[in-house]
């Protein structure tokens, strides 16, 4: 088979690594890819939003399966374009990817089908949102820009003043562009967060091993929100009781709700859950693998990823036994000092060869590129690598991952030192 992967981050590197393990695959392409993906796939210089070029390339190379990793092309309808051209594609169509593309949509869906989530109101006008804040709001309160905002469109406001400034930033100044056309104002929930990824074939849902992300830039969950500074899988807080509750009230209910609305979902649903004192509640849906959740989950999946993707497309997921290794993985992100605010790019990297031949250790590239000499690897983003290691236990995986962070080097290398600290509290 020939497989084309769409995206350029650590998640797509983890997907490519899984695809490369399949005996069924002869050739992997990635658009646009990065320097690490380039070692196992042929990177093609086509952007993830260049739908016509992706379709033409897939037809020209007779691609057997396209796997879309990123949110923007899914929400924008890449899967619809490829399907119309008869190209087999793994990922939700535009009308189902809306569960990530519009927070107002996903909140309405959850309300209509009684899926547990935070109480909320939706606003189209800044004045109405401000009126609500003045008369009805309890603080802290959460403001969410409706659309995609690179994970930055969520503001937790402790005071009325902060919330007023937030409404102004999102709806008046349009700090997140058209994502701020609508606003969701939501009840603030407390508890532990868990990420649960799942495969869905339109009717059946099978969940993967759970994970926990670390979104803040600095140790002790301080500093600004980032795309994720590291994570671990499984989460010891995702207990059997939590799983039973979610199976009963959240997972299948979401899949059935989408089917009922005429928006059958095929692909990966990512459930961002908050384990509150009143039980698990959905914080958000994503229509794709998480980044870096894919890095700690896919390396532990026993199935051939191509079999799983095809079962989702063909509607035969109920026949498939989804299996994970009975171990753990930890991913520590190596970033450029200053991320996510201001940082340098183009710094040469050394030490990557230390990962060669080391079973259970992975250096997933998040933001790298090949220098013009065709040899040197340069940093090309705020998050540069997701150093990932497996272990028999979470503690062992964490020790292995931190040891491996020493193997690779570049100027201004920065990481959190407390990824997985919560494991000790479990």
What residue ranges bind ligand AMP (CB under 6 A)? 118, 142, 151, 154, 156, 186-189, 193, 215, 272, 283-284
Instruction: Candidates 12, 201, 293, 310: give the one binding ligand GLY (CB under 6 A).
Output: 293
Distance CA 81, CA 48 (A): 13
- Per DSSP, which regions of 202-319 are E strands? 205-207, 212-213, 216-218, 222-225, 230-233, 266-276, 279-286
420 contributes a contact to ligand GLY by CB under 6 A: no
Q: State the binding partner of 333 from ligand AMP, ligand GLY, none, CB within 5 to 8 A by kind.
A: none
Q: State the binding partner of 40 from ligand GLY, ligand AMP, none, CB within 5 to 8 A by kind.
A: none
Residue 413 tokens read as 């290398």
> Of 64 and 213, which has the nearer Cβ to ligand GLY?
213
Where in 222-241 is the site for ligand GLY (CB under 6 A)? 228
Work out how close the CB of 403 gets to ligand GLY at its nearest, in angstroms, rounded to a whole number. Answer: 24
15 and 294 Cβ atoms separated by less than 8 Å: yes
Q: State the binding partner of 118 from ligand AMP, ligand GLY, none, CB within 5 to 8 A by kind.
A: ligand AMP
Work out how close the CB of 294 gets to ligand GLY at its nearest, in angstroms, rounded to a whole number. Answer: 8
Q: Of 59-67, 287-295, 302-310, 338-346, which segment contacts ligand GLY by CB under 6 A? A: 287-295
Q: State the binding partner of 219 from ligand GLY, ligand AMP, none, CB within 5 to 8 A by kind.
A: none
Tell how strand 205-207 and strand 279-286 pair up.
Answer: unpaired
CB atoms within 10 A of CB 382: 23
Distance CA 76, CA 27 (A): 27
Where in 189-228 is the site for ligand GLY (CB under 6 A)? 213, 228
Q: Of 130-138, 157-165, 284-292, 365-373, which segment contacts ligand GLY by CB under 6 A? A: 284-292
> Of 89 and 117, which has the nearer Cβ to ligand AMP?
117
174 and 180 Cβ atoms separated by less than 8 Å: yes
- The H or E element spanning position 333 is strand 328-336
For 331, 351, 357, 419, the CA distances from 402, given in Å and listed in that order, are: 9, 15, 18, 9
């Amino acid at each position: 088979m020939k497989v084309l992967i769409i995206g350029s981050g650590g998640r797509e590197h983890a997907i490519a690594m899984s695809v490369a393990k399949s005996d069924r695959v002869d050739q992997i392409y990635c658009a646009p890819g990065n320097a690490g993906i380039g070692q196992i796939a042929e990177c093609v210089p086509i952007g993830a939003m260049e739908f016509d070029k992706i379709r033409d390339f897939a037809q020209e190379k007779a691609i057997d399966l396209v796997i879309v990793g990123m949110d923007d092309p899914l929400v924008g309808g890449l899967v619809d374009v490829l399907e119309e051209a008869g190209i087999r594609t793994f990922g939700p169509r535009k009308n189902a990817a809306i569960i990530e593309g519009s927070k107002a949509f996903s909140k309405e869906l959850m309300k209509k089908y009684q899926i547990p989530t935070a109480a909320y109101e939706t606003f189209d006008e800044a004045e109405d949102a401000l009126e609500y804040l003045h008369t009805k709001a309890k603080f802290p309160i959460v403001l969410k820009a409706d659309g995609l905002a690179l994970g930055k469109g969520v503001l937790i406001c402790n005071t009325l003043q902060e919330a007023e400034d937030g409404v102004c930033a999102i709806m008046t100044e349009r700090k997140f562009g058209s994502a701020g056309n609508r606003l969701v104002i939501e009840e603030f929930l407390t508890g532990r967060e868990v990420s649960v990824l799942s495969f869905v074939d339109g009717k059946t849902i099978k969940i993967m091993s759970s994970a926990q992300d670390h979104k803040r830039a600095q140790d002790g969950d301080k500093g600004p929100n980032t795309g994720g500074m590291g994570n671990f899988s499984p989460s010891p807080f995702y207990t059997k009781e939590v799983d039973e509750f979610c199976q009963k009230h959240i997972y299948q209910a979401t899949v059935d709700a989408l089917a009922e609305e005429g928006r059958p979902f095929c692909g990966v649903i990512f459930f961002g859950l908050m384990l509150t004192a009143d039980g698990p509640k959905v914080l958000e849906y994503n229509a794709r693998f998480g980044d870096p959740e894919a890095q700690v989950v896919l390396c532990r999946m026993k199935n051939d990823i191509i079999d799983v993707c095809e079962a989702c497309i063909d509607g035969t997921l109920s026949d498939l036994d989804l299996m994970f290794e009975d171990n753990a993985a930890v991913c520590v992100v190596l970033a450029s000092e200053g991320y996510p605010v201001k940082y340098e790019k183009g710094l040469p990297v050394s030490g990557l060869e230390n990962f060669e031949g080391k079973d259970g250790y992975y250096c997933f590239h998040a933001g790298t590129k090949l220098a013009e000499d065709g040899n040197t690897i340069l940093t090309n983003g705020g998050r540069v690598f997701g150093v990932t290691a497996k272990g028999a236990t979470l503690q062992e995986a964490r020790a292995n991952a931190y040891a491996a962070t020493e193997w690779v080097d570049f100027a201004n290398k920065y990481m959190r030192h407390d990824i997985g600290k919560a494991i000790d509290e479990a």
